[in-house]
Amino acid sequence: MILQKNGVIGGKISGAGGGGFFTFYCEEKHSQLRKTMKKMGLTELRYDFDFEGTKVLANFMNYK
C-alpha cells in the first residue's frame, strides 16, 4: 500500500535462496518512489532492456 501511494502500479518478485529482487513498475512519481524506497532500506538497481538476444560474455569451459 505504501508503494502504491508513491506511484507503483505493478511489481514482480524474483530470485530465490538468500536473496532476490522486487521489480516495480512506475509511470509517475519516480523521485518520490526513490525517496520512499530509501527510507524503507531498499536499494535501487537501474537496468535497461536488450532486444538483441542472448550473448556469451565469458566462457570458462575448457574444451580440448
Per DSSP, the residues of the chain read -HHHHTTEEEEEEE--TT--EEEEEESS-HHHHHHHHHHTTPPP-------S------------
Q: Is the pTM of this model over 0.85?
A: no
What b-and-e string marks burial along 36-51, b requiring 16 or more CB atoms within 10 Å of the CB?
A: bbeeeeeeeeeeeeee
5-51: pLDDT as tens digits = 888 999 998 887 777 888 889 999 889 989 998 998 988 888 888 89
